[in-house]
């Protein structure tokens, strides 16, 4: 075989051709002609995540040559002013190196429309801008609308998109809407929100962003389970003792009172991120990895998920107090600017659930999240049962814990296995050791940011990683009884010191069944 060619017979693939067999899933998919309109373009999410992700996609050659980006906000900007804002965001936060030629080509498609959400004229100007981009940039009538705005503004924006004709799809053209969490604040509001959005956009055109599902490590849970024979045979109640899913942050909530106070950790994280991580961890193998099959298995798991009672003992909530963290004296939540001194908003939440099916019957899943905890980490820890018989003296294994498989979602993405091994020496002593796989050391290419993957999936019309109505509503059905019980309780969240791992009530929650939290 000569270099760059294959000597195989007729029908063989030419591996030097970047447009080879479309069935080859290893090839990156490039978005077709399209544009993206961002509402809330002046916010932190847009500057720190969305704009840099768009540049990174362009830098990787995954956007069409005529891609268009339109910003909509109240600021008195022209398109050039908007371009400067995008430029500053890209230089400050982009993952890939800055290339002037890529930037110049991308910036040709920037437009800005000034207006408020209740301004009919502004949406009419936006409609004209979109039509002009179809003519000048060749976007083909394909546009996605990213609502990086408070949920209270969704109804008016959706109605304006319908009134101005921006949501109308003609023939092969598509229009899609992207919604950031939170998806309501309880089941009732989630249903109302879904109805409002679906009046304007059909469900297959609605993309609800959960950025955790765009992380490489979350998707690697599926690869770990279903591409290997090693794990799946023991991924069940015969071998698994319990599962801990943790999302911990070491930062406080200063400056976020307008969003967070009255929302709390359970609504902010458990309802979406952690229940989605549970679904990936506990789901059955799908028939294929098509969006319909993947979603079907996730919905089956969520439908089988039940809270463990009594909630006074199987849930915990806390609120951080002032103290020392990382060598810095920090304030408690009620001392942060904008928070009510009597606030009952929890900054730590933990719940216990079980999945009532044949695979997981009797296995508790512990979900916890919190601010101002010991360190920033998100992980899925599958803790296995102890060996039924240990042919050692007790002193030989006194330092031996339970086997564990830990998927680190962030930071330092990877997988760790904990198991027992003999300590070198003349005596028989068994102690825990770890075997570690890290993305950063195993692969030469850096993992893309979650928003890169998710924005590209929106433009491609690939909905696998986006929760649908049924998932959102079922998640609220699971969480609502916890919120109701906490609201009705006479006492508020338990205090915990900044830099700790939560309130003592969370330790009691685990101790009732003889278990303890991992210290990541």
Tell me how far the alpha carbon of residue 393 is from its chain's centroid: 46
Q: In what order do the strands lie in the sheet with 175-180?
A: 110-114, 68-73, 35-39, 143-147, 175-180, 206-209
- Gap between the Cα atoms of 232 and 225, Å rounded: 6
- Could you confirm whether 273 is annotated as catalytic? yes
For residue 242, give the nearest of 282, 283, 208 by alpha carbon: 282
4 φψ region: left (φ > 0), alpha (ψ -120 to 50), beta (else): left
For residue 167, give the nearest of 151, 183, 144 by alpha carbon: 144
Burial class, 24, CB count within 10 angstroms (exposed 0-12 / middle 13-18 / buried 19+): exposed
Q: Which two structure tokens, joined as six digits, stand for 105?
A: 């080509």
Give the pairing type, strands 110-114 and 68-73. Answer: parallel
- Gap between the Cα atoms of 90 and 133, Å rounded: 23
**H or E element that contains 399:** none
Catalytic residue among 93, 242, 273, 389: 273
**Helix, strand or coil for residue 50?**
helix
**Helix, strand or coil for residue 403?**
coil
- Gap between the Cα atoms of 133 and 149, Å rounded: 24
**Helix, strand or coil for residue 13?**
coil
- Gap between the Cα atoms of 434 and 418, Å rounded: 4
CB atoms within 10 A of CB 167: 21
- Gap between the Cα atoms of 135 and 109, Å rounded: 12
**Residues annotated as catalytic (active site), given as ranges:** 273
């Amino acid at each position: 075989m000569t270099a760059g060619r294959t000597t195989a017979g007729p029908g063989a693939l030419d591996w030097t051709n970047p447009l080879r067999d479309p069935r080859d899933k290893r090839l990156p998919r490039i978005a077709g002609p399209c544009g993206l309109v961002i509402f809330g373009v002046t916010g932190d999410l847009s500057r720190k995540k969305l704009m840099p992700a768009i540049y990174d996609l362009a830098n990787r050659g995954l956007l069409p040559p005529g891609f268009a980006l339109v910003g909509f906000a109240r600021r008195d900007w022209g398109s050039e002013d908007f371009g400067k804002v995008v430029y500053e965001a890209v230089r400050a936060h982009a993952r890939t190196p800055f290339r002037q030629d890529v930037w110049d080509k991308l910036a040709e498609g920037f437009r800005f429309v000034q207006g408020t959400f209740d301004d009919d004229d502004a949406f009419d100007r936006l409609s004209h801008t979109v039509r002009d981009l179809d003519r000048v940039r060749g976007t083909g009538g394909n546009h996605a609308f990213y609502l990086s705005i408070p949920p209270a503004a969704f109804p008016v924006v959706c109605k304006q998109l319908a009134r101005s004709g921006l949501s109308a799809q003609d023939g092969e053209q598509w229009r899609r809407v992207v919604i950031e969490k939170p998806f309501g604040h309880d089941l009732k509001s989630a249903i109302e929100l879904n109805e409002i959005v679906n009046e304007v956009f059909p469900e297959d055109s609605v993309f609800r962003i959960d950025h955790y599902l765009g992380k490489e490590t979350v998707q690697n849970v599926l690869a770990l389970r279903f591409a290997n024979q090693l794990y799946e045979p023991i991924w069940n109640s015969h071998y698994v003792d319990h599962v801990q899913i943790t999302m911990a942050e070491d930062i406080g909530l200063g400056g976020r009172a307008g969003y967070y106070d009255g929302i709390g950790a359970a609504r902010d994280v458990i309802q979406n991120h952690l229940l989605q991580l549970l679904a990936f961890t506990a789901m059955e193998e799908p028939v294929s990895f098509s969006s319909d099959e993947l979603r079907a298995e996730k919905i089956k798991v969520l439908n089988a998920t039940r809270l463990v009672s009594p909630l006074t003992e199987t849930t915990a909530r806390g609120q951080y107090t002032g103290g020392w963290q990382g060598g810095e004296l920090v304030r408690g939540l009620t001392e942060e600017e904008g928070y009510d001194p009597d606030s009952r908003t929890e900054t730590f939440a933990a719940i216990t659930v079980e999945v009532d099916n044949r695979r997981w019957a009797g296995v508790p899943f512990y979900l916890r999240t919190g601010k101002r905890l010991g360190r920033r980490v998100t992980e899925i820890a599958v803790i296995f049962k102890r060996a039924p018989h240990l042919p050692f003296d007790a002193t030989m294994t006194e330092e031996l814990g339970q086997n564990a498989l830990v998927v680190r979602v962030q930071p330092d993405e990877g997988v760790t296995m904990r198991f027992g091994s003999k300590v070198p020496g003349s005596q028989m002593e068994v102690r825990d050791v770890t075997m570690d796989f890290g993305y950063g050391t195993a692969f030469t290419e850096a993992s893309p940011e979650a928003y890169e993957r998710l924005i590209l999936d929106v433009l491609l019309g690939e909905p696998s990683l986006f929760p649908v109505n049924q998932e959102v509503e079922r998640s609220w059905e699971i969480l609502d009884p916890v919120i109701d019980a906490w609201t009705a309780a006479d006492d508020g969240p338990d205090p915990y010191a900044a830099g700790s791992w939560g309130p003592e009530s969370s330790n009691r929650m685990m101790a009732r069944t003889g278990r303890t939290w991992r210290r990541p």
